[in-house]
Structure 1
């Protein structure tokens, strides 16, 4: 990344934030992701949880019933978050350090999502 680049998360994050209830089915999560052309949903439960395409694929590979298994059984808990004023350079470093592709953006409450796709698009 260009060391002079001062682009902030707020300039590239995806909004509005797409959410899903923890008791929704894995199938519903997959349907919503396809419908919205996104790869993660924030789960509206306890602290910092998301369900991603990787979580859904893992559930299918494990033979779980996508119609009956709730998102809460496969979601990723305690995800790292970022603030809207963070520099994209810092986001890229965080994604690499934590090995993640999505970081919810929080400012008092969830306000958006920044993904590795956003980082890649920003760099091109």
Structure 2
């Protein structure tokens, strides 16, 4: 049986941001209905992912407005264009993530979401559980960031 690969399905619009982007700008980008998550790029490498849940956690944890670097999910779990959809779904499930940056030859190529996988896989293959501690932001002083964003 030949399985469908990541490169053969439509990847989500790939909005990228820098780690020093304000959370206000990140929130503006995530308000767009066609943007499921933001991929954080530094020196052409994927260094983090920011989702709506990251912003919600930040609001619940603090009144500060740090940069994206303070709230992005990292380390980043990625996949390749040649990975099968089953492999990508297993990677999402095992890592507890709903968005996988697609990387080839060290460069970001697009974003694969659990929603994009849904038409191709049985529902039980896409059940993803959060496996991390609740978000804890360091104070802005510890991170060398200023508020007032």
State the TM-score, normalizing by the size of structure 2. 0.71
More helix by share: 1
Q: Is the 8 A contact 1:22 1:71 kept in 2?
A: yes
**Structure label with greater radius of gyration:** 2
Q: Which residue of 1 aligns with 2:40?
A: 43
What number of residue pairs does the alignment pair up?
Answer: 119
Distance 1:119 1:30 in 2: 25
Cα deviation for residue 63 of structure 1 reads: 2.5
CA distance in 1 between counterparts of 2:76 and 2:29 reads 20
RCO greater where, 1 or 2, for CA within 8 Å and sep 6 or more?
1
Gaps of 5+ in 1: none
Alignment TM-score, normalising by the size of structure 1? 0.84
What runs of 5+ residues in structure 2 fail to find an aligned partner?
A: 123-149
Q: What is the 5 A alignment of 1:1-124? A: 4=1, 6-14=3-11, 16-35=13-32, 37-45=34-42, 48-65=47-64, 68-108=65-105, 109-123=107-121
4+ residue segments displaced more than 4 Å = none
Partner of 2:135: none
Q: CA RMSD in A?
A: 1.9
